[in-house]
Amino acid sequence: MDGFEFLVVGGGIAGLSAAIRLAGRGRVLVVTKDALAESNTAYAQGGIAVAMGGDEDVSLHLSDTVAAGDGLVNRQAAKMLVEQGPKRVDELLAWGTGFDRGAAGELLRTREGAHSLSRILHANGDATGREIARSLLKHARGIPVITLMEDTTTVELTVEEGRVVGALLLGADGKLFSVRVRAVLLASGGAGQVYSDTTNPAVATGDGIAMAYRAGAELEDMEFYQFHPTAFAKEGAPRFLMSEALRGEGAWLVNAAGERFMSRYHPQLELAPRDVVARAITREGLAGPVYLDMRHVEIDLAARFPGISAFLAKYGLKLNRDLIPVRPAAHYLMGGIKTDLHGRTSVPGLFAAGEAACTGVHGANRLASNSLLEGLVFGASAAETMAEEQGAGTQDKGVGKTAPPVPVDPAALEVWIAKLRKLMWEDAGLLRDGDGLRRAQGRLDGMIRGCPRGVTRREVEARNLLTVASVMVESALGREESRGAHYRSDFTGHWPVAKHSVMAKGRLRFQ
């Protein structure tokens, strides 16, 4: 393998948009542990929030983002997000992204929870993320200096004299090899697989966050995990996402008695912030199932939501005919690797963007459909800074060697992972308290002895899940209040002043 100037870990919207920009400054290696099309980006249904209606729309988008974040949003980051968003989306359009349009060719927009107006662009009805991923990947493949490497697991970052200079990788052939570069970007996505119930794909195991932490990088706001209110809730079925766009098009939430209930929880009803809706569904669910009801909505639902409709058809359900059972599931991590607005972490040579990073743009609760825009805006910003600040290090050819065999029972490994995910759901999930969090902490500490030591992809993922879970629990214990997505039944009030939580070298502090 020839030398590279830049390594990008992750092939979603943040990673690919960064790689495209880095290509003008040197050779770029993009690695993903699965197929390039398999990322959280590809699973995003609802759309991308962007203020393309002028200055007033930009101002309202900023206000909505800050309000949803429940007092913890980094206003500078949010301002950058909403102001640069239109330009970045124009680039997507130029690269061939096919957003849905009306009869006159105008971009169609919808509304989602906590947005003051309709500003959500969508593609193929409910497959926005997959269309964006397709167009970015096609564009990246056309750039000769970008090398895309699938089925390649990043095992660990390489740190020399306090600087990240590369990474140890595991190829599809089972061989380890090192790559030495001038800068590394972690755009490896979130960590939904830390919970037993999640809308995230199997690849979302918090790899970049865990590796950065072990390399000495600070993590921020790890207690804030967003639980999407409406995941499909049929026994034995996957927690398939029932997009917020369904509620944007008029869906109601009804309880087991057939009553609409959101008026008891928030004046915006079904379009309240996600944390409010998720807790409301959980409370109403104590008395029986909760449903999405679209039987009164007059648009062509099968045409507007073809992916969701096809999924429901497998279970004999139709949006315009049936009540759809839903309940919350782990969806998005607001925290992550602490960065500035340009992707810089606390470790030289290491950058992060997208869901793996934390600029503070989402605060305690992400505004619906801001995630794709975050990856686009901050992926580009990180790339520009990496290109400007690239070090004078040399690039070398990685030497392949077979990973040393470590006996592992695949079945036992899956049991170990399932145990971790179950305890996190039970004791560190949507509703938390000190007793449950301390119990989770003790159980996670007890799992360290059985933690797998090998370097297969699954063993690497297991170690990363344990690292991320432990940090999340410690952060949740440290925040003795309820704010946004972090709700503690033993501390239901707010602190007088919102503070960010930072994990640094195993110690939790607030700033």
Asked if 466 contacts 474 with a C-beta cutoff of 8 angstroms, the reply is no
Query: End-to-end CA distance of the chain, in Å?
Result: 43
Helix (H, G, I), strand (E, B) or coil at 169: strand
How many Å apart are CA 349 and CA 173, to the nearest integer? 28
Residues 61-80 as b or e (16 or more Cβ within 10 Å = b): bbebbbbbbbbbbbeebbbb
Is 274 considered catalytic here? yes
Of the residues 109, 130, 274, 304, only one is catalytic, namely 274
Decide the pairing of beta strands 507-510 and 163-170.
unpaired
Phi, psi (deg, nearest 5) at residue 8: -115, 120
How many Å apart are CA 179 and CA 382, to the nearest integer? 20
C-alpha angle 330-353-448 in degrees, rounded to nearest 5: 55
In the DSSP assignment, the letter for residue 483 is B
Q: How many other CB atoms are found less than 10 A from the CB of residue 449?
A: 6
In the DSSP assignment, the letter for residue 491 is B
CB within 8 Å of 130: residues ≥ 6 apart: 37, 42, 43, 44, 123, 124
User: Any idea which residues carry the catalytic annotation?
Assistant: 274
